[in-house]
Structure 1
Amino acid sequence: MDEAPEGNHPYLGYGNVGIAAAFIVLDVSVSFALKLGVGTSLLISAIRCVVQLSLMALVLDKIFATKHPAAVFGLAALLILLGTLETTLDKCKTRFRYMFPSVLLSFVSSVMPISIIGSIFAIKNVPFWTPEQYVPILGMLCGTTISALVVVITATLKELHENRDKTETMLAMGASRYEACLPIAKDSLTLALTPVINQMSVLGIISIPGLMSGAILGGSSVEQAAKLQMIMMFLIASSTALATIVITFLALSIVVDGDHRLRSDRIDTRDVAVHRAFFAVMHGIAYEFGRIKEKMFGSKEDGGEHERLLG
């Protein structure tokens, strides 16, 4: 439930959200008018944003009220699981065998330890799982890590699938799978980490980051807001780098096996099974609907032709 504004903090309702959403509607209208093809995805993402953040606000309100570590760690497990599912089933169009446990391992081995250690020593939360501080940290780490994982997985599998001759030639000439895959790992990791590196390099010069702006709006001093932004940026960058390194080497070790063979059969470029089943069901419904429609309208047309011949 919305609360009354405190101090100089403005009260924001869904009317304010609607004003900001009007700019999204404008962009969607421009896309549809010019047939750019980005309007639908932009609109769906905006709707998802409203629904998901509204649900998240309800959940966090309950967790902040309970202040129980079990609730905090339960939410952490849920965020990591949803991030793994989002990466595996929705964002990545190309997948590899054992991708779900690999992505889950990369999340757990990077986001969890960095968020806990950073909360204890860098931000000095006591206790470290204090919901108001730990949950936002975990959420920011998960969000950035998902984007980087999608980029590095897509780039790695694309190179192995489309330019397999290059890798197979190196393996045939006696290179180990580490030597053959190292150039792919370098290029994929560079591509995935470039946004984070660029973001760190322009903070404070070209852009004022969102977290620092939020801290200032929340009443913190500018100095404290800047230090908080530095800490969070380093946590985000380290978590993203560690997760992408883990998933890259897991993917390469699975697709290029221990016998130094490129296993293209372990790369799947088809739609996810859930998507295939959904499209199959929708196709079947559309087909049956078309048959019924054709049968109904066909009989009417035949009847009209029969009457004209008799008349």
Structure 2
Amino acid sequence: MSNAATIPFTQLIAFYGLLIIPFAMLWQLKLGDTIRKFSVSLLRMTFQLGLIALYLEFLFRFNHLWINLGWLLVMLIVASSLIVKQAGLSRRHLFSASLIALLVASSIVLTAMLLLVKPTPWYDARYLVPLAGMLLGNCLTANILTLERFYQSIDSQYDRYMNDLLLGASQWEAALPFIREALKAALNPMIATTATLGIVYLPGMMTGQILGGTDPITAVAYQVMIMAGIAISTVVSTVLILILSLKAGFDGFGLLNQNLLINQQTTY
């Protein structure tokens, strides 16, 4: 049984009153638009977490295989769509690439995690949904950065890319320098976070488990598993999404598909 102290709803609302401090600072700096965006994001976060809490109660109560797998599918579809949208690219062209990349990466890692943890039943929502959510959430950010950086770089340095093609390079060879740059940009934040884990800060999952009464050794073991899983799924998904996107992003001659860049201005 959990030993976590409950937080009364009224006290949680009172805690929100501390927001007056950052809001006052931003107001003094005449950043009213930032305050508005900040407020909207906090309200959305609170509303969305409230809804997911109610839905998770439903999932945990019924704990049915197809309901749990159906929810995972919804998570994959939403994440795949959001990745392409936030990268400023066409969902019609790249949604399938994003979905396949996330599905492959998350399936491999999630299966290994469930074999390690051994929940009963294996599709137990208390394990399946949170673990999948942590993997997809981290993959989402990295995949957005990867796609955005790759196609923006290709677009802004199109002459460099075309010059390599004209000199006899294959599409893969011409795109490879841009792929490397995009992957470095997307993976560097994860690498920096992983390197400072446990020294600079304590991660949320481990802290939550300790506050919930789990002993530190067990909490650390789960956190190591999570971070390793995040690293594996992030690298696999970012590499896959770039490779899979090349077919939709370029034509048979290796030329960039201009319909792909829906929120970006082409420079050629």
TM-score by length of 1: 0.78
User: Using the alignment, how far apart are the partners of 1:59 and 1:149 within structure 2?
Assistant: 27
Question: Comparing 24-33 with 162-171, which one deviates more in the overlay?
Answer: 24-33
The secondary structure found in structure 2 opposite 1:38 is: helix
Find the partner of 1:84 among 63, 71, 80.
80
State the shift of 1:267 in Å: 2.5
| Paired residue type of 1:265 | Q
Find the partner of 2:112 among 114, 117, 121.
117
Give aligned pairs, total: 263
> Deviations along 1:134-185, whole A, 9 cap, x unmatched?
1110111111111111111110110111111110011111111111111111
Tell me what 1:62 maps to: 58
Tell me what 1:17 maps to: 12
Tell me what 1:262 maps to: 255
| Paired residue type of 1:105 | I
CA contact (8 A) 1:97 1:266 kept: no
User: Using the alignment, how far apart are the partners of 1:60 and 1:108 within structure 2?
Assistant: 22
CA contact (8 A) 1:157 1:267 kept: no
CA contact (8 A) 1:31 1:39 kept: yes
User: Using the alignment, how far apart are the partners of 2:10 and 2:145 within structure 1?
Assistant: 36
1:40-189 to structure 2, matched below 5 A, reads 40-89=36-85, 91-95=86-90, 98-120=93-115, 122-189=116-183
User: Using the alignment, how far apart are the partners of 1:174 and 1:7 within structure 2?
Assistant: 64
The secondary structure found in structure 2 opposite 1:26 is: helix
CA contact (8 A) 1:87 1:150 kept: yes
Instruction: Give 5+ residue unaligned stretches, structure 1.
Output: 1-5, 272-311
Instruction: Give 5+ residue unaligned stretches, structure 2.
Output: none
State the shift of 1:115 in Å: 1.1
User: Using the alignment, how far apart are the partners of 1:11 and 1:96 within structure 2?
Assistant: 42
CA contact (8 A) 2:89 2:262 kept: yes
CA contact (8 A) 1:28 1:40 kept: no
User: Using the alignment, how far apart are the partners of 1:174 and 1:15 within structure 2?
Assistant: 68
TM-score by length of 2: 0.90
User: Using the alignment, how far apart are the partners of 2:2 and 2:206 within structure 1?
Assistant: 20
State the shift of 1:42 in Å: 1.8
Question: Percentage identity across aligned positions?
Answer: 25
1:183-198 to structure 2, matched below 5 A, reads 183-198=177-192
State the shift of 1:7 in Å: 6.7
User: Using the alignment, how far apart are the partners of 1:15 and 1:161 within structure 2?
Assistant: 51
Query: Which of 1 and 2 has higher RCO (CA within 8 Å, sep 6+)?
Result: 2
Tell me what 2:232 maps to: 238
CA contact (8 A) 2:3 2:213 kept: no
Tell me what 1:213 maps to: 207
User: Using the alignment, how far apart are the partners of 1:16 and 1:115 within structure 2?
Assistant: 36
User: Using the alignment, how far apart are the partners of 1:25 and 1:98 within structure 2?
Assistant: 44
State the shift of 1:96 in Å: 6.9
> Deviations along 1:31-60, whole A, 9 cap, x unmatched?
243134432322221111111110101110
| Paired residue type of 1:213 | T
CA contact (8 A) 1:96 1:268 kept: no
User: How has the CA–CA distance of structure 1 residues 29 and 81 changed in structure 2, closer, same or farther, with 3 Å as cutoff?
Assistant: farther
User: Using the alignment, how far apart are the partners of 1:85 and 1:96 within structure 2?
Assistant: 7
User: Using the alignment, how far apart are the partners of 2:251 and 2:15 within structure 1?
Assistant: 51
| Paired residue type of 1:125 | P
| Paired residue type of 2:100 | L
